[in-house]
Each structure stands twice: as structure tokens, then as C-alpha cells.
Chains A and B, each alone.
Chain A
Amino acid sequence: MISERVAEDALLVRFEDADLRAAAARAHALATVLEGEPDIEELVPGAASLLVLTRRGSADAVAAALERVETPMPPRSATAHEIAVRWNGPDLAEIAQLTGRTPSALIEVLTATPFTVAFVGFQPGFPYLVGLPPELHVPRLASPRTLVPAGSFAIAGPFAGIYPFASPGGWRLLGETDIALFDAQRVPPALLRPGDAVRLR
């Protein structure tokens, strides 16, 4: 665990784990320890990091405290979500071919994969899911689509994700969901939160 001052009131903690799922678990475990501490204003998980926003004037004290924190890995009972996907994405056939399997074999792998929400970003409520088998890590489109429909399930690199809102996007679209990922009237507004477990069907 390496912590670095990146702004007056911000520390970035990086996790060096090679495996993104392990890094996400450590970031989440640290966030759980820090949450609610009086010197902490906000915690922003990343792919293998945690951005710690501190109360004005507290960054030095928090940095010192971080040195002493044991990075615990509590066997936490994660909130589990099962998400129904209609496997009709425009890139499904191409990605199946690219990864040397039939579309139905690709769907089988995806529905058998236990995903973890590493972080939420890009759009409000957009979950970055880790756990994708390495053989399904595919590059993004060289030129992004101008419009990806809301609810699209997609993969790119080591991540899978679901678009809460229609937007431009370069991820490979494998299916659609009806899940409401973001509700501004709810606290917290994102349905899928860092550390949550996700299964597709």
C-alpha cells in the first residue's frame, strides 16, 4: 500500500496487487475502515486505488494514520446482485469469434463468472466490474460509437460494465439490461457499489 499526496486535501492510496479483484477488495476493505472517520470527507475507489479526500488541514494526520492501518481483508458479506441480460448486443458474434468460441459458449462463461464492483465512474452509477477471465480481455473499439443505449452490458480490457445512461462509448456491447443503476432520489444513488458481488444471467 503506497499513499501519495495528490492535492492540498487529497491522498491517493495505490494497491500493487497484480490481480484487479484482489486490489478492489483491498481498496474496499480500506474504505470500510476509513468511512465515517472525522478527518475523512470522501472516499473515491479506483481500479486499484482509493482517493482519500480529507478535511481541510488534516491530510498530514490522515497520511500518518494510513501508515499504521493494517490492510485488513475482512470476510465481508458483500451485497449480491443478480442481473438479467438479454444477450443480443451488436458485438456479441464478433467477440465470440475473436475469443474463439460460439456466442452461446461466450454467454456461458459470462454467466458463470462471479464479478465484483471495483469502482463507479465515467457516468453516475456506471459500475466497473472485475473478474472477467483474461481470455475475454478485448480492446475497445478504435473509434467509439456515438450512441450507446442506456442499459447496455459491455466489456473492454479487464472490465465489464453497464451503461446507466445513453452516451458515446467504445466498449464492446454484448447485451441489454433493464436495471435502474442510478436513482438521484435514493442515498446512495448508485445501485451497484464498490465491493458488491454481481452475477449475470
Chain B
Amino acid sequence: MSVRVVRPGAFTTVQDLGRFGHRASGVPPAGAMDPRAARAANRLVGNPEDLAVLELTLSGPELVFARDSWIAITGASARGAFCLPAGEPLAVGRLSGGPRAWLAVDGGFDVPLVLGSRSTSPRGGFGGFEGRALRAGDVLPLGRASRPPGSAPAFLLERPVTLRVLAGAQAPLFSDSARTLFLESAWRVSPASDRCGLRLEGPALPSAAGGELLSEGVLPGAVQVPAGGSPILLGPDGPVTGGYPKIAQVIAVDVPLLAHLAPGDPVRFSRVSLDEALRLRECAC
């Protein structure tokens, strides 16, 4: 059984919870930008949490499923599980309330596992559906549903205003005034933002070390400051190594919030201690 893409939406990709263990080969983790939302969508249709879902960006696709399907959408334009009869088109349209949503179907989107994951890796052109965003006319295989639709805690859409950060790997190289400016400024998400990274607009931060160091391993949520002084928040499709000095690192519980920041959204940063970050993570389910 399969699903046909009538219209792809602005940027729709197949994602699961990510591809791990291959960073040393230069493979970024990819995966749903907000894994909590992807898990909730799967739970709503009775799936194991790690089945592949579609990640929708700004505007959703129009899809026709070849079999009766349970569908759920979390994130923007969220909708609890509903039954969609075979052949009836589902047009998601423009997302409301945020820039991203996750659409699950009972049985999951059954694209091949590549390096342990079904997530799309656009840099390497593999994973997901043919290593790219969906296009009109694509036909994706569906998995077999194994369980009746379940329930999941309501997944509330969060529009983050403040991201909590630890000191970045190169924080000591930045001047006191640069660090203060970073924490006290109101930033705005630039339109030139995607799953590789969110670019921020605001005051030019005096960079450190000329804005360029020897490349080292970097993680999603790293706040890099290139010579131009506009910070870049690294996303799940960003490179695994980078040479820009990092002024901060978004704490683990806040990294999924990057998914809900749209171009033009305001964002601020607040500094927390490592102990606080660890404690917050213990509270998070």
C-alpha cells in the first residue's frame, strides 16, 4: 500500500528520530527537528515512536492514501488522530501557529532504512524518499498498521521566545562585551534559515579568533559566530564539524524548540549552569 503526493508543500521530508553513529564519516544526525512532536504523532496513530513521519514546513502537502488510514498531525496545524478513507485527498495547506508540523500515518512511511534510519540526508542525497524533499507525483510505500490508534498527551505547540544556553566551547575567547551583547540582545530569525541552521539578525557580535578556528566536532544547538557577527544556530542537517567560534550551546531540552522558530520570530538567550541543564533534562519526559 502506498501514498501519492499530489502537491509536495513548501519543504516536506521523511524523518524518524535520527541517524546516529556515523558522524565520523561526516553524516549529520538529521531526524525530526522536534523528536518529541514526531513521537507524539506516532503514538496518536498507534505506531511505535520511531516510525518515519513527514516533517512539514510552512505549507503542507496534498496526499492521497491508497488505503484507509489513521492520520495525526502534531506541531503547527495540529490535529488528533482521524480516519481518512482510501482515495480521499488530504490537503494540509498553509500551516498555522508555527513553521513546522509532523504528520504520522498508521504503519508509518515505509522507506528503506539507510545507515539505521529512514531520515532524509539532503547533503548526501540518501535516506528518506530518494534523499530529497518530496515532489508532486512521488509514491511512498506505507507500512502495515499493527495496533489500533492510541492516545498521546496533547502536544502543545511552543513558540519559544527564550532559549537557554550553556557557555560555548570558545566562549572564553569572546570579549565580555560580546558575551553581554549576545545575552542581552533581542534577536530575530532570518529568512535564510533551514534545517542546517537558523541564522539570527541583530547587532553584529564582535567575533573571536577572527571568526575562524580549526574545525572541530559540533552539535545541533551550537551557537556559532562567523566573522560577520551574525550568529548561526546549528540544526540537525548541519555539518558535523565546523570552524566558527561558538559563543554558546543551547541546552538539550531546548534544542527541539529550534523547530518552532519561524523567519521573523524574536528570540533571546539566557545562560544556565550545567547542573541546571542536567536537572531540567531529568524533569523532561
Contacts and interface: CB of A to CB of B under 8 A. Distances in A.
A8 interface: yes
Size bracket, chain B contacts:
35 or more
A30 interface: no
Contacts of A188: 22, 24-25
A67 B28 CA distance: 29
Interface of B: 20-28, 114-115, 121, 123-127, 166, 168-169, 214-219, 221, 239-243, 246, 249, 251-252, 274, 277-278, 281
B26 A123 contact: yes
A146 B261 CA distance: 28
Contacts of A7: 166, 219, 221, 249, 252
A67 to B, nearest CB: 18
B124 A44 contact: no
B20 A12 contact: no
Given A122-B26, A187-B115, 9 more contacts: A6-B219, A41-B20, A44-B240, A46-B241, A51-B218, A121-B240, A124-B124, A184-B124, A189-B115
Contact of B25 (A20, A47, A120): A120
Given A12-B216, A47-B216, A123-B123, A189 B25 contact: yes
In the A-B complex, list the 8 residue pairs whose CB atoms are closest, starting with the nearest: A51-B217, A121-B241, A44-B217, A46-B216, A190-B25, A47-B214, A184-B126, A124-B124
A156 to B, nearest CB: 11
A119 interface: yes
Interface of A: 4-10, 12, 14, 20, 31, 41-51, 53, 119-126, 128, 164-165, 182, 184-185, 187-190, 193-194
B22 A189 contact: yes
A44 to B, nearest CB: 3
Contact of B252 (A4, A8, A47, A164): A8
Contacts of A49: 214, 216-217
A122 B196 CA distance: 12
B24 A8 contact: no
A8 B124 contact: no
